[in-house]
Amino acid sequence: MAIGFNIIYNTTGIINFAQGEFVMLGGMTAVTFHQFLPLPLAILCGVAVTMIVGAVIEILFIRWLHKPSVLRMIIITIGISILIREISLHVWGESVRALPYFTGTSVTSYQLGGVYLSPQVLWVIGVSALAVAALSAFFNLTMLGRQMRACSANRDAARLCGVNAGNMVTLSFMLSAAIGAIGGAVICPITYVHYDGGTPLAIKGFTVAILGGLGNSMAAVGAGMILGILESFSIWVLPAAYKEVISISILLIILFLKPSGIFGSAEAARLKDF
Amino acid sequence: MLRIKNLESGYGRLKVLKKVTMHIGAGEIVTIIGANGAGKTSLLKTISGLIRPRSGEILFDMKDIGKLPAEKIVFMGCSLVPEGRQIFAPMTVRENILLGAYPQLRKNNGGAVRDDIERVYGIFPRLKEREKQLAGTLSGGEQQMLAIARALMARPKLIMMDEPSMGLSPLIMKDIFSIITRLREEGNTVLLVEQNAKAALGIADRGYVLETGRIIMQGAAEDLLSNRDVQRAYLGRDLDAEVTM
């Protein structure tokens, strides 16, 4: 989730508030495809569909904007997220859906040093670790990844190096849609999906991305764990209904105190625009 | 190599360049001098495709590049070292250089790229020492070197430089200018835009004087250097006053 934010931010400096909807879409389409396809294929198709949606959104709404301001981008992406949500309401209705557990059932659990873990949790951890590793390799070692980073650092200079900046932005939307969709498919056996399920995830994901330092996938995973632990332990002192409050207050505290994130170096932050 | 005819260009409703006509031959160093706001940077941005020209034509190697986007023009062999360096600050020095080689990689010249990297490291040994550092942490002079190195990696037929000496100490400025001369000796063609008219005319073959978007004077570099008007306006020396003293 937070990683998806980071991808688009990495290429465009844009914070995409429709990211939560990508997660929801990934889960929803995977569930739909699962009615007539085996699970791995259904997830693959779900991811593919979400990627196409991501590309279409970029081409329709983002590409023709010349030098959009940050505020404008935020408004546009929030608008897109509302649009996706309403369309999904029409397509899938209000029912809550879920994929079956990838391995085992909702009652199987593994014991790990006195802690009971659902197999699906292991899937989530495994997939996010894999995604982070693959992404950091992609951004740091491949020419395409470097081009995407160059676009984010300095768009005009990237064009002067022959990089087609417009295509890079489309690609980044597809990539983050894919990551969101994978995330959506993996977590939906646990959390279920609902047409309205994207927004709280987006807020949480955004908190995590900020907490870890924007643009840094490795830190995002670390921050995600910290946030998860904080939320779980907050149940001791606060009613469970206040869980969401925790993530939002953390977001505010971080934005006030250390906008570069706890893992972000102040130096790298100064070299970026915002 | 480059031929510009009646070029007009600007930002929004503001017209900056008015009927600019000029040419650059292969192997030349041509300089454009002019005061702040004369349109020097706009001219280079228009040639490189960052700004769309409003009218007139830009012929590069006999082909009209006026309507091409910036990323295509680089592929044709016309590179810009932009004003204020514009390096990729959050990336390493080596990555910056590799990105410069992107047109070469696209043309499947991967093997040549390795030699090119060695070549630019030969010209700028400082960059090799700092290969793994983030580009944003380099000093101003080093960043300028990196910007030039990055442009060279595309193996341009014409390399355009916008104010390469801006904000540099006189000593480093001298280095940069000697590198420009060296580039010409290696057969490159250079279009140099400078506020430091004296240094630029010192190494150039020919020059154009740009004033409020118009070319008001042109000629061999030595002629411009000794021209009274140029001296008074851009070299800070008033020959008439000196004579009366």
Question: pLDDT tens-digit profile of B8-49?
Answer: 998 888 889 999 999 999 999 999 998 888 889 999 999 999
- Residue at which a domain ends, from B155, B171, B205: B155
pLDDT (mean) for B176-204: 90
**Residues in chain A closer than 8 A to B103 (CB atoms):** 161-162
pLDDT in tens, A104-117: 666 666 766 666 77
**Minimum distance, in Å, between the CA of residue B95 and any CA atom of chain A:** 7
Q: Mean pLDDT across chain A, nearest whole number?
A: 77
pLDDT at B138 over 50: yes
pLDDT of residue B240: 64
Instruction: Name residues whose C-beta falls within 8 Å of residue A205's C-beta, 6 or more positions apart in sequence.
Output: A1, A2, A4, A5, A19, A20, A23
Contact B158, B191 (CB under 8 A): yes
**Residues in chain B closer than 8 A to A146 (CB atoms):** 91, 95, 98-99
pLDDT of residue A13: 52
Asked if residue B82 belongs to a domain, the reply is no
pLDDT of residue A67: 63
pLDDT at A274 over 50: no
The reply to whether B54 and B172 lie within a common domain is yes
Asked if residue B57 belongs to a domain, the reply is yes
The reply to whether B143 and B163 lie within a common domain is no
Most confident of A49-53, A123-127, A184-188, B239-243: A49-53
The reply to whether B56 and B113 lie within a common domain is no
pLDDT at A8 over 60: no
The reply to whether B151 and B161 lie within a common domain is no
Asked if residue B134 belongs to a domain, the reply is yes
pLDDT (mean) for A200-216: 71
Asked if residue B196 belongs to a domain, the reply is yes
pLDDT (mean) for A162-191: 84
pLDDT at A229 over 70: yes
B89 touches chain A (CB under 8 A): yes
The reply to whether B165 and B239 lie within a common domain is yes
The reply to whether B101 and B135 lie within a common domain is yes
The reply to whether B14 and B71 lie within a common domain is yes
Asked if residue B234 belongs to a domain, the reply is yes
The reply to whether B52 and B160 lie within a common domain is yes
pLDDT of residue A273: 43
pLDDT at A156 over 70: yes
The reply to whether B102 and B9 lie within a common domain is no
The reply to whether B161 and B233 lie within a common domain is yes
Confidence of residue A185 (pLDDT cuts 50, 70, 90): confident
Q: Mean pLDDT across chain B, nearest whole number?
A: 89
- Residue at which a domain ends, from B155, B179, B211: B155
Asked if residue B83 belongs to a domain, the reply is no
pLDDT at A6 over 80: no
Most confident of A121-130, A133-142, B228-237: A133-142
Show the domain range for B117. Answer: 88-155
B137 touches chain A (CB under 8 A): yes
Give the chain A residue nearest B101 (alpha carbons): A161
pLDDT (mean) for B124-135: 92
pLDDT in tens, B74-116: 999 999 999 888 999 889 999 999 999 999 888 877 788 889 9
B37 touches chain A (CB under 8 A): no
Contact B154, B74 (CB under 8 A): yes
pLDDT in tens, B45-85: 999 999 989 999 999 998 999 889 999 999 999 999 998 88
Confidence of residue B142 (pLDDT cuts 50, 70, 90): very high
Confidence of residue B208 (pLDDT cuts 50, 70, 90): very high
pLDDT (mean) for A65-92: 81
**Minimum distance, in Å, between the CA of residue A3 and any CA atom of chain B:** 18
Q: Give the C-alpha separation, A210 to A158, whole Å.
A: 26
pLDDT higher for B187 or B159? B159
Nearest alpha carbon to residue A161 among B80, B116, B64: B80
- CA quadruple A264, A265, A266, A270: dihedral positive or negative? negative
pLDDT at B119 over 80: yes
Question: How many folded domains does chain B comprise?
Answer: 2
Q: Give the C-alpha separation, A85 to A41, whole Å.
A: 24
Strand partners, B219: B207
Asked if residue B100 belongs to a domain, the reply is yes
**Residues in chain B closer than 8 A to A150 (CB atoms):** 88, 91, 95, 99
**Minimum distance, in Å, between the CA of residue B99 and any CA atom of chain A:** 7
CB nearest B86 (choices: A149, A157, A164):
A157
pLDDT of residue B162: 93
Cβ atoms within 10 Å of B111's Cβ, excluding its own: 9
Asked if residue B188 belongs to a domain, the reply is yes
Contact A5, A176 (CB under 8 A): yes
- Residue at which a domain ends, from B155, B180, B203: B155
Give the chain A residue nearest B79 (alpha carbons): A160
**Residues in chain A closer than 8 A to B136 (CB atoms):** 271
The reply to whether B134 and B47 lie within a common domain is no
The reply to whether B236 and B161 lie within a common domain is yes
